[in-house]
Structure 1
Amino acid sequence: MTARVGRDRPAVVVVLTHLVAPLAVFYGLRALGAGPWIALMAGTTITAIETIFTAVHRRRLDTVSITVLAILVISAGSSLVTGDARLLLVRNAAGTALIGAWLLVTLCLRRPLLFDGARMFQSAEARQRWDRRWQGSSVFRRALRVLTAAWGAGFLVDAVIRLLLALTLPVDLVPLLDNVLLVVTVMVLLVTQKIVGAHYRNRYGLHLRQGSSDQRED
């Protein structure tokens, strides 16, 4: 089965339309002699079309879709006024900054984002077990909050690096490095998550995987 983002958005589609296709279009148009602004805008259009199509198909605009479209419109409009292609590059830093900030904000809410994010990929029965673990284990709640904080901080660091790349390096180099940075950031965070998970498993007998049962609860 294809991995999914949300419940009906194949992850491969998101990767293709938000990462691979814009990169291919940008470098393809640059090779054909197009200016950096035109090449970046063409790639951005693919992302916007996919986001709008998904919203129409689902008959609703979720927070993620609204955020993506807002960033695209603001960055495109600003760069159109100034003629500066770098403003289109900065949108990626804005996107990861918003993700990181929202992850941290959810620490102040009833449940952190990682809890609800995990539920999106579960069956109804698995969601019930997940909810019971949240209600019954303070260690489980603390672990998910720690992981949410780690992912939030990681994306904020990613945003700072991405902003520096966009403002200092040659425009033609930044789109490629943006994608490389995303892979590095996610890999580092996954390793961090594995280390944190091992700590809670060894110290508390807590298994964070969705299908696992805790050996002891607090």
Structure 2
Amino acid sequence: MGKSLVTLLCDIAAPVGGYYLLRAFDVAPVWALTLGGLPPALRVLYLAARHRRVDGMGIFVLLIVAVGLVTTLATGDARLQLVRGAWFSVLIGLWMLASLRIGRRPTTYQATLALVPRRAAELEDRWADTPSFRRVWRVLAVVWGLGGLVHSAFSIVLAYTLPVDVVPGLDTVLSIASFVVLQVVTQVLLAREGTMNRMWARR
């Protein structure tokens, strides 16, 4: 619970709160966006130093911050800063959809294996002998891939049609709502398929 709270504060509350705090001191929007994005990167660097490794999500966060800094220095365009995360989300969405044809497993399933390494062998057994289990992870790759693309499209439209100062807060709400909806759909589909429920019940 404590780790989740720290993650929530660093990755969501600090960037948005930091942006509006800096704007209250008349910091230019493009620099407020850049500096507001530093807390997640600092958290990743702290964890990397502590555990001597960086996971895929950490690399993703560092890439977004790096692209934001380069964008600020090269263009000074606040709207390009606002959509930097959306373009990464587009790539991730396309990657999830492509994983249905490229590679041995859908990205959604591979991500689950990484999250529960102690159950990896059992999950792989289910993948090998349960067609409905394989099917649900392929469906989830489509759900998350298309969901990411739709969310990114909305984020880009917001960034280029609304006042800059409105977008960070509104886009954060949109991101949270999208994640919650996709998580609910994921849990419903997994519950209907039933394999995961039976596995967790035996723990």
Superposition TM-score tier, normalisation by shorter sequence: 0.7 to 0.9
Q: Give unmatched runs, 5+ long, in structure 1.
A: 4-9, 214-218
Paired position in structure 2 for 1:52: 45
SS at match of 2:104: coil
The correspondence for 2:113, drawn from 119, 124, 128, is: 119
- Equivalent position of 1:207 in the other structure: 195
Does residue 139 of structure 1 match 2:102? no
The answer to whether the 8 Å contact 2:34/2:72 transfers is no
Cα distance in structure 2, aligned partners of 1:110 and 1:127 = 15
* Whole-angstrom CA distance in 2 between matches of 1:148 and 1:11: 25
> Following TM superposition, by how much is the alpha carbon of 1:212 offset from its aligned partner in structure 2, in angstroms?
5.1
Q: 2:79 aligns with which of 68, 74, 86?
A: 86
Determine if contact 2:41/2:62 at 8 Å carries over to the other structure. yes
Q: Deviations over 1:66-123 (max 9, x none)?
A: 3322232223212222221112111121232233223223322211222232233436
Normalised TM-score (structure 2): 0.86
Q: Which amino acid aligns with 2:81?
A: L
Percent identity over paired residues: 35
Name stretches of at least 5 consecutive residues in structure 2 with no aligned partner: none
TM-score by length of 1: 0.80
CA contact (8 A) 2:44 2:54 kept: no
Query: 1:195, CA displacement in angstroms?
Result: 4.5
- Answer whether contact 2:34 2:65 (CA < 8 A) is retained: no
Alignment check: 8 A CA contact 1:150 1:189 kept: yes
Q: Distance in 1 between matches of 2:134 and 2:16?
A: 39
Query: For the structure 1 residues 96 and 186, does the alpha-carbon distance in structure 2 shift closer, same or farther, using more than 3 Å as the test?
Result: same
Cα 1:212–1:152 shift into 2, 3 Å: farther
| 2:122 equivalent in structure 1 | 129
Matched position secondary structure for 1:173:
helix
Residue 155 of structure 2 corresponds to: 162
1:164-183 matches, within 5 Å, as 164-183=157-176
What is the count of residue pairs matched by the alignment? 200
Structure 1: 4+ residue segments shifted above 6 A: none
Q: Choose from 88, 95, 98 the match for 2:91.
A: 98
